[in-house]
Amino acid sequence: MASSPDGMPSPQPSRANGNINLGPSANPNARPTDFDFLKVIGKGNYGKVLLAKRKSDGMFYAVKVLQKKSILKNKEQSHIMAERNVLLKNVRHPFLVGLRYSFQTPEKLYFVLDYVNGGELFFHLQRERRFLEPRARFYTAEVASAIGYLHSLNIIYRDLKPENILLDCGHVVLTDFGLCKEGVEPEDTTSTFCGTPEYLAPEVLRKEPYDRAVDWWCLGAVLYEMLHGLPPFYSQDVSQMYENILHQPLQIPGGRTVAACDLLQGLLHKDQRQRLGSKADFLEIKNHVFFSPINWDDLYHKRLTPPFNPNVAGPADLKHFDPEFTQEAVSKSIGCTPDTMASSSGASSAFLGFSYAPEDDDFLDC
């Protein structure tokens, strides 16, 4: 989960209850005691992500558990509902994590998500420092496909970074939709100041209205980092980094192909109106010469062999997760039954419609 660049929870635009899509069905029967919670595999502002095994069938899931009290304190309930709504739309896309179902107790919210244990792109990039162009192209193409799909649903992602890109059997899986903005038509703009400092687009830093081209800036920043080991305008001094993003010309180290350099310059154009993707969106990205080796139909259907296989031994193989998370003890309260917990004030009505159960279990597999 990301926050605004000053470290505070990102402010979200107010939203009337009638504008929140509450989804097709409730899930009144699911409860924490359906699972054995095995390991902490991630953390965020309002809770944790845990590896969980469902007792009824032995299936493994990543369960994101959020504290209602913290969400309400920061007035982020519409933010969480937006994340849920976006997750509901992801199930048919191969490079977006799927929501199996969601439920709540008086104190907590539970997202039951696809379990992906090939590790974060960030983890692999830290270990290898940088990727060769074919590998970077493969990941960038799959991420661009996912972003293009979200844009087709009038959703801006707004927090693309290597930490939010997971690997399954070698393909990418985009996760964490907490900063997504719904209902942004092609010509619309929004103005919420949010994201992760290293990847903020200039128009966001200037606090100007911005559109979906903000995601293509982030794609350029991630590609640059894959090829060179650091984000394009990085500085340990955040103020200096912002100054670099706003004013420093893009510097591309040598050793890259002309196509890669041209793509980076197009995606990292400081003027959002001139940025690659600003006019025809994903179509401009697909048609760039850097992606000429990619058959996009084969890519979408996972017919292309990934350049790297994480080689996990099974669901219990946690070698690609940070030990900082996996060595943390799992709180016993995570698996409490609803009737053993006191109701938080206002929590029972603040998340109406959060619980969701699909009509079938038809999900895309690796």
Measured distance CA(165)–CA(95) in Å, rounded: 9
pLDDT-derived band at 6, boundaries 50, 70, 90:
very low
Residues 6+ apart with CB under 8 A from 58: none
Q: Is the pLDDT of residue 337 over 80?
A: no
151 closest CA partner among 218, 223, 225, 198: 218
Helices (H), 108-212: 121-128, 133-152, 202-205
Measured distance CA(241)–CA(100) in Å, rounded: 39
pLDDT-derived band at 346, boundaries 50, 70, 90:
low
User: How many of the other CB atoms lie within 10 Å of CB of 353?
Assistant: 15
Contact between 302 and 171 (Cβ < 8 Å): yes
pLDDT given for residue 138 in this prediction: 98
Q: Is the pLDDT of residue 151 over 80?
A: yes
pLDDT given for residue 245 in this prediction: 98
pLDDT given for residue 27 in this prediction: 60
Over residues 244-269, mean pLDDT: 96
Measured distance CA(193)–CA(200) in Å, rounded: 9
Which residues participate in catalysis according to the annotation? 159
Over residues 168-178, mean pLDDT: 92
Q: Is the pLDDT of residue 323 over 90?
A: no
Binding-site positions read: 73
pLDDT given for residue 81 in this prediction: 87
Over residues 289-293, mean pLDDT: 98
pLDDT-derived band at 233, boundaries 50, 70, 90:
very high
Measured distance CA(85)–CA(95) in Å, rounded: 17
pLDDT-derived band at 44, boundaries 50, 70, 90:
confident
Q: Is the pLDDT of residue 348 over 50?
A: yes
CA of 295: how far to CAs of 41, 139, 147, in Å?
34, 14, 17
Q: Is the pLDDT of residue 237 over 70?
A: yes
pTM for the structure as a whole:
0.86
Contact between 149 and 215 (Cβ < 8 Å): no
| Percent with pLDDT over 70 in the chain | 86
Measured distance CA(291)–CA(321) in Å, rounded: 30
Give just the sign of the alpha carbon dihedral 53, 57, 61, 65: negative
Q: For the ranges 91-95, 265-269, 280-284, which has the lowest average pLDDT?
A: 91-95
- Residue 54 parent element (H or E): strand 47-54
pLDDT-derived band at 34, boundaries 50, 70, 90:
very high
pLDDT-derived band at 45, boundaries 50, 70, 90:
confident
Looking up tokens 């469902």, which residue turns up?
54
294 closest CA partner among 277, 306, 311: 306
User: How many of the other CB atoms lie within 10 Å of CB of 232?
Assistant: 24
Q: Is the pLDDT of residue 260 over 90?
A: yes
Over residues 290-312, mean pLDDT: 96
Measured distance CA(101)–CA(361) in Å, rounded: 10
Binding-site positions for ATP read: 73
pLDDT given for residue 102 in this prediction: 92
83-121 confidence digits (pLDDT tens):
888 888 765 799 999 899 999 998 999 999 999 999 999
Over residues 297-302, mean pLDDT: 97
pLDDT-derived band at 1, boundaries 50, 70, 90:
very low
CA of 22: how far to CAs of 18, 76, 288, in Å?
9, 16, 38
pLDDT-derived band at 334, boundaries 50, 70, 90:
confident
Chain centroid to CA 17: 24
pLDDT given for residue 322 in this prediction: 83
Domains, the chain, ordered by start: 17-117+313-350 (3.30.200.20), 121-300 (1.10.510.10)
The token duo for 231 is: 């984000």
The token duo for 350 is: 């603040």
